[in-house]
Amino acid sequence: MTARVLVGVKRVIDYAVKIRVKPDNTGVVTDGVKHSMNPFCEIAVEEAVRLKEKKLVQEVVAVSCGPQQVQETIRTALAMGADRGIHVEVSGKDYDSLGPLQVSKILAALAKKEEASLIILGKQAIDDDCNQTGQMTAALLDWPQGTFASELVIEGDKVKVVREIDGGLETIKLNMPVVVTADLRLNTPRYATLPNIMKAKKKKIANMKPGDLGVDMTSRVEVLRVDEPPQRQAGVKVESVEDLVSKLKEAGRI
């Protein structure tokens, strides 16, 4: 039986919120805005918890990187059934420039420290849409990766992953230890119930800093500017085909 699953959970602006760009164009407004667990991370947690319920893994550890508030996100994972949490404290400028490279270095270090044999992550975060952390983590650990998983089956010391790809579905078999990233159809995550939220309060969340793991937080990416997408312009009605053709020519389209 596989000992330990590491699940990464990211705190992001809730999917239902209308995003607004800050007036100084340095980013989006986050103050006072509802945040919640990245939907793909919810799916990852759900998959890990199901594996534990099927007794295929012994322990599920939820990890999040960020300031104090990410503890709420870890608590949600605990309420869904994770056993314990790890909060890697990142704040201020480091948090502003936190991206897949630093997170994957942290996850790789933790995977070694915790002797995890399976890492499940969401395929991407809904705020940056990077879709890189899983792949980078696997590369740093030199582990195989099963990304965009819509099905995950543990078979002894191997893992069978069905991947959603452009042409359809691809089934691959990977030797553990392995990194898997969750796609939308992997499962439907459970809602945390009150009794489970109460129980989660008693579960442990360990605190540490990137330095404790020997991770360098320097970012190689600098955000220059954030802009809203261009406003949609009103359409124009035309009376005849000739009119349409001449308008298209005017606009340089034909």
Q: Would you tell me which residues interact with other proteins (CB under 8 A)?
A: 14, 16, 34, 36-37, 76, 79, 188, 191-197
230: burial class by Cβ within 10 Å (0-12, 13-18, 19+)?
Answer: exposed
Closer residue to other proteins (CB): 174 or 192? 192
The number of residues making up the chain comes to 254
Give min distance, CB of 193 to other proteins, in A: 5
Give min distance, CB of 45 to other proteins, in A: 11
Q: What share of the chain is helix, strand, coil (3-state, %, to 5)?
A: 30, 30, 40
Give min distance, CB of 222 to other proteins, in A: 33
Closer residue to other proteins (CB): 190 or 213? 190
Query: Angle 162-165-167 (CA atoms, 0-180°, nearest 5)?
Result: 115
Look up residue 204 and give its amino acid. Answer: K
Residue 107 to residues 9, 23, 149, 222, Cα–Cα distance (Å): 11, 34, 19, 22
Give min distance, CB of 195 to other proteins, in A: 6
Give min distance, CB of 18 to other proteins, in A: 9
Determine contact, residues 125/43, Cβ cutoff 8 Å.
no
Residue with token string 């999040």: 64
Closer residue to other proteins (CB): 2 or 76? 76
Closer residue to other proteins (CB): 54 or 253? 54
Q: Alpha-carbon torsion 123, 182, 188, 56, what sign?
A: negative
